[in-house]
Amino acid sequence: MSLRSRITGTGSYAPETVLTNSDLEKKVDTSDEWITERTGIKERRIAKSSETTSDLCLEASKNALQAAGLKAWELDLIIVATMSGDMPMPSTASLLQKKLGAKNAGAFDLNAACSGFLYGLSAADNFIKGGAVKRILLVGAEVMSKFIDWKDRSTCVLFGDGAGAVTLEPSRGKRGVLSTHLYSDGSMWDFICLPGGGSQHPPSSKTIKNKMHCIKMKGNETFKVAVRTLEKLVVDTLKKNKVKPSELSMLIPHQANLRIIKATAERLDLPMSKVAVNLHRYGNTSSASIPLALDEVVRAGRIKKDDYILLEAFGAGLTWASALIRW
C-alpha cells in the first residue's frame, strides 16, 4: 500500500489581548459596520510587546505534540511557515527547536505568506513520502501586529496574531495527504508586500520614515484575483483526485475575507456548515490561519475518520495553494 504522510496531532495558540472593531474606531477613521461588511472580521488577537513569533509557535507546538502523543526529542524535522519571524537570522524554527528541546530535529523556515502553511505541508509530505524523515512538526505562525501601520485603515483592520501546528507521520493506506498543489505569480508581487528590511531596501532612516517596514496592500486588485484563482483551484484539486464536491466533509480556507470564503463555497455548492470560519474572532493571521482553524474543527469533533478535507489559501507573492486530505 502507498506511503502517505498523515496528520497525527493538531494544536493552536492565540495571544490573550483582543482588539475589537470598536477599539479600532478610536485609532483610525473606520467603523465596526464598515469592517464587518467588507471583511467579516469582528476582532483579532494582538501579541504583547514581549511576545515573539517563536513564543506563539511554542504554545501551539506543545498542544500538537500532546495530541499526537509525541515527545519533542522524537521529532526529526521542524518547519515553521512565517513572514514575521523573530529575526532575519537564525530561523524561527531553530529558536523553536531550542525552546522545545527537540535535540534530534533539523529546522528551517519557509515564507510563502498566507499560503505558507500549505507550502510547508507539501514539503513535509514529500520529506515523509521520500523516506527522509518520519516525524515532522509543521507550524504556521505570525505576529502581524508588529508590521502594521496603525494609521492605514486599509490594512490595520485586517490582520491578527496567532499560531497553529500539526505533527505528521508516515502511514500506509488510504488515509493521509492525498495531494498538494502550489502556484505563484510574481508579476503581482506589489499587490501585498512588506518592502523594507531586505537587500533591496535595507533598514535605514529613509525606510523607517516611509513606513516601508509595514505591510502594503492593494485590496481591490487582490480581492478580484483571489476570488477567480481560488474558485478554479478548488475545482481542479478535486478533479485531479477524482473526488466530487459532494464528497467533501470540510473546507478549511485561509481566513482573509468572508466574501472570498463564501464565493469559494458557492463554487463547490457547499453549505457553510461544511466550511471552517473563525476570521470573525482572529482576523487574517496569514500562515497561521489554516492550522488554527484546523485545530478548532478537530477539537470540536467536526472531522471524522476517512473524511475528505480540502485546504486552500491565497497570499502575497502572489502565491496560492491547496491540499486534499483523507482524515
Residues marked active site are found at 114, 254, 284
Burial of 154 (0-12, 13-18, 19+ CB in 10 A): middle
CA pseudo-torsion sign 275, 165, 320, 36: positive
SS3 (DSSP) at 36: helix
**What is the grid cell recorded at 225?**
484575483
Number of CB atoms found within 10 A of residue 107's CB: 21
- Nearest partner of 215 among 265, 267, 152, 271, judged by Cα: 152
Is-contact 60 139, C-beta < 8 A?
Answer: yes
Amino acid at 102: A
Angle (nearest 5°) at CA 193 between 49 and 295: 60
Amino acid at 291: P
Burial of 299 (0-12, 13-18, 19+ CB in 10 A): middle
Query: What CA–CA distance (Å, rounded) separates 169 from 175?
Result: 12
Query: What CA–CA distance (Å, rounded) separates 143 from 178?
Result: 31
Query: What CA–CA distance (Å, rounded) separates 110 from 122?
Result: 11
